[in-house]
Amino acid sequence: MSTIKDVAALAGVSYTTVSHVINKTRPVSEKVRSEVEAAIRRLNYVPSAVARSLKHQATFTIGLLVSNSTNPFFSELARGIEDTCYRAGYSVILCNSDDHPERQQTYLRVLLEKRIDGLIICSAGDDLGLAEHVREAQVPIIIVDRAVKGVTADLVQVDHLKGGYLATRHLLELKHKSIGCIAGPDTTSVSIERLNGYRKALAEAGAPFRSEWVVMGDFTAEGGYKAARRLLKRTELTAVFASNDLMGIGLLRFAAEHGIRVPSQLSVIGFDGIELTRYFYPALTTVGQSIHRQGEIAASALLERIRKGGEGRVRRILINPELWVRESTVAPAPFVLSRHE
């Protein structure tokens, strides 16, 4: 592998001149710059990231810790973060905790050992161990989507309560009265807030809330499928709010397999706004906001923190959700359609 001294010898300059060309730390003549750049290309020289980080006290690297990389929400979010960081000259190291707190803490240590300049965390639910490690980290941090208890850091998230409220109100405005809910795990504030939004909309409309109309899922398509098996035993339900899109997709699959026609017999609405839901049949009505844009907002907030050396007041950036009406929700039929198998 070529070294900076090899480049200097080929270009006929000192290695400090090569360093100045690479790092743009001192003006050099256009002729010298061209000769150095030609030597770099000919030798396929790659500057040492470690050496540059020691010189600049920065690695131009961002750590991104997500809870489940198979969930399209996190894939779209990561793309928004990566695009923004790339434009600013930063690389992103992605680690997936797979919703395991121990793995999450391990990856956090790995990222910090890489001397990253900043960290974006999409947490795997409540994790007191993570909070302890984050508090000890000496880099700017942005929390996205799921708040981490015990951590004081900028938070970027959609208004989950308002989103749950909008989803349920949409069904109520279509004149549905028997509305079920597939909630997320009760260990996450995200799930609780979305469920609270569901309950708030029902209460405002004077519609009944029944605990047997609520089942817990795990934010996966399989979890939505299994939850639908339990929930749709309630044949009086005419609509369901699935508190994330993947669980809504699982519900659509269960309904198709069991002869439940969506939306004529059952309206379904999700939450998140992942791109994939536009291409299902029927296309899933959902509540959300551009996930790519959320990633851009989070990355921009972190880069601003880095530029300011981590200084400034802690902020909560709350993104307003929007209702995207598609094919999976309609007014209930004027007569009862049997959903018995």
Q: How many residues does the chain have?
A: 341
- Give the per-residue pLDDT at 196: 97
The answer to whether residues 131 and 155 touch, using CB atoms and an 8 Å cutoff, is no
Note whether 69 and 90 are same-domain residues: yes
Q: CA-CA-CA-CA torsion for 119, 122, 192, 154, nearest 10 degrees?
A: 20
Residues 115 and 226 in one domain: no
| Helices and strands per DSSP (H, E), number in the chain | 12, 12
Residue 265: helix, strand or coil by DSSP?
coil
283 lies in the same domain as 180 = yes
Please indicate, yes or no, whether residues 36 and 75 belong to a single structural domain of this protein: no
The total of other beta-carbon atoms located within 10 Å of residue 329's CB is 23
Q: Which domain holds residue 24?
A: 4-47
Q: Do 235 and 204 share a structural domain?
A: yes
Tens digit of pLDDT at every position of the chain (341 positions): 678 888 889 889 997 898 888 777 788 899 999 998 898 888 888 766 555 554 556 788 999 999 888 889 999 999 999 999 999 999 999 999 887 878 888 888 888 888 899 999 987 555 566 777 777 777 899 999 888 777 788 999 999 999 999 999 999 999 999 999 999 998 888 999 999 999 999 999 999 899 999 999 999 999 999 999 999 998 899 999 999 999 999 999 999 999 999 999 999 999 999 999 999 999 999 999 899 999 999 999 999 999 888 777 889 999 999 999 999 999 998 754 555 44
Same-domain pairing of 281 and 297: no
**Has residue 333 been placed in a domain?**
no
Q: Which of 273, 288, 303 is where one domain is finished?
A: 288
| Closest-CA residue to 62 (of 35, 80, 76) | 80
The CATH number for 80's domain is 3.40.50.2300
pLDDT of residue 55: 52
Do both 282 and 178 map to the same domain?
A: yes
**278 and 138 co-located in one domain:** no
| Residue 127: per-residue pLDDT | 58
pLDDT recorded at residue 25:
73
pLDDT, residue 340, reads: 45
- Residue 169 has a pLDDT of 98
Task: Tell me what pLDDT residue 124 has.
Answer: 58
Decide: 287 and 163 in contact? Cβ < 8 Å: yes
Residue 244 near residue 312, CB atoms below 8 Å? no
Q: Which long-range contacts (CB under 8 A, 24 or more apart) does 300-305 make?
A: 300/84, 301/142, 301/154, 301/156, 302/62, 302/118, 302/119, 302/120, 302/140, 302/141, 302/142, 302/154, 303/84, 303/85, 303/88, 303/90, 303/118, 305/118, 305/140, 305/142, 305/154
- Predicted pLDDT at 108: 85
Query: pTM here?
Result: 0.80
Of 288, 304, 331, the domain-final residue: 288
Give the total number of structural domains in the chain: 3
The answer as to whether 54 is a domain residue is no
Residues 168 and 232 in one domain: yes
Which amino acid is located at 252 in the chain?
Answer: L
Whether residues 282 and 176 share a domain: the answer is yes
Same domain (yes/no): 69, 122: yes
The reply to whether 150 and 269 lie within a common domain is: no
